[in-house]
Amino acid sequence: MSDRRLSSLQQLLVGLVLGAGYGLICRLLFAPTRHGGKASAFYEIMTISFIFLVPLVLGFMVVWFGEVQKSWPRRIFGPWLASLVFMAAALAFNLEGLICVILWLPIVSFMSSLGGVVAGVIRDSQASDGSKRLCVAAVALLPLVTGPLESWRDRATEIGTVHTTIEIKATPGQVWKQIRSVPRITEAEHGFSLSHKLGFPRPTEAILEGAGVGSVRYARFEGGVLFVEKVTEWEENKRLSFSIVADTKNIPPTTFDEHVTIGGPYFDVLHGSYWIEPRGADRVVLHLASDQRLSTGFNFYSHWWTEWLMNDLQTYILRIIKARAEQAA
C-alpha cells in the first residue's frame, strides 16, 4: 500500500470517527443515560435539535474532514457508515433501545446525507478559507444553539385515533364474550408481530371486575405492564368503551424505552372502544379504535410511527379474539 493510499484511508477514518464521535457526545449531552441520570435543563432528546440536526452535523463532519476526492455518491452515502457506527454504539452502551433506533433510522439516513451534501457544496464554493471555517463552526454549533431555544417552548400535543377491523365468523354474543374479558393468552395463541419484535410487550389477559358502565377492566401485558380501563360505554353484544390509564408507577424501567413509554411525557393511550357490526348470519366485523396523545417536538414525523405501531398491536389483539370466537362458534 502506498503512502498516498494510507494517507487517504487515514483521512476517511478521521471523518468517520469525528462524525460518529460528534453524535455520541451530543447523545450524552441531550440525555446522559437511557434509564436514570440527570437530564439537562436546556437539552431534550425528543426535539428537532437532536433528532434532525445532530444527524445533519454528523454527515457534515464525515464529508468535511474525511473527503479525499470529490464524489457526490460518497457525499450522499458515505455518512451512513458513521451513522451506523454511532447508533450501534448507542445500543451497545445502553443509551438507546432497539425500537428508538429503528424509528430514528430513516431520519438519520436522510439528514446525514443532507449534511454530507451541504459539506460538499461549501467545499466546492469559491469562498475564502476563513469563511469556510466559519461555516463549519456554525454548522457544528447549530444543535447546541437551537436546543435551549426549543426547551423554552411547550411541546405541541396531538390527539390521534387508530381504527382497525377484522371479520369474524361468529355471532355478536360469541364475540362479546371475548372482548369484555380476556382470559390468559397461552403461548400457542401468540403469533408473530413486528411491534413485539421491536420491544413492545405482548398482551397476556384483560380481567373485568363488575359489569356495565363504571366497571373496571385490568389489561395486562408482558413485562409487568398494566392498564386500568374504566368502562364508559356498555351495550351488551354491541359496544364496549373505556378510559385507559397506564400504571406507570409499577412498570419496570426496562420494559419500555423511556422515549416510547405509554403514560410518559411523549406518548399515552387515552381511550379505547370495541364495537360489533353484524354482517349477516353468524358473521360480524369487529372494530377496535384507540385515542393516543403524542407530545414530541416533531409530531409531524412521529405520528406516522405511532399509528403504525398501534395498528400492529390492535391487529394482533383482534386476531386472538377472532381465533377464540370462531373456535367457540
Average pLDDT over residues 152-166: 90
Give me the pLDDT at residue 52, please: 96
Amino acid at 103: L
Mean pLDDT of 30-43: 60
40: pLDDT strictly greater than 80:
no
pLDDT band at 3 (very low <50, low <70, confident <90, very high): very low
Q: How far, in Å, CA of 111 to CA of 104, rounded?
A: 11
- What is the average per-residue pLDDT within 243-259? 72
* Least confident interval from 98-107, 271-280, 282-291: 98-107
The mean pLDDT value for 83-112 works out to 91
Question: pLDDT grade, residue 260 (50/70/90)?
Answer: low
Position with higher pLDDT, 37 vs 67: 67
Sheet containing strand 203-209, strands side by side: 158-168, 284-294, 267-278, 239-246, 225-235, 216-221, 203-209
Residue where the block lists cell 469563511:
131
Instruction: Report the share of the chain in percent with pLDDT over 70.
Output: 92
Look at residue 235 and tell me whether its pLDDT is greater than 80: yes
Please determine, for residue 34, whether its predicted confidence score (pLDDT) is greater than 60: no
Does pTM surpass 0.75?
yes
pLDDT at residue 60 greater than cutoff 50: yes
The fold of 158-328 is Alpha-D-Glucose-1,6-Bisphosphate; Chain A, domain 4 (3.30.530)
**Which residues of the chain are in CATH 3.30.530.20 domains?**
158-328
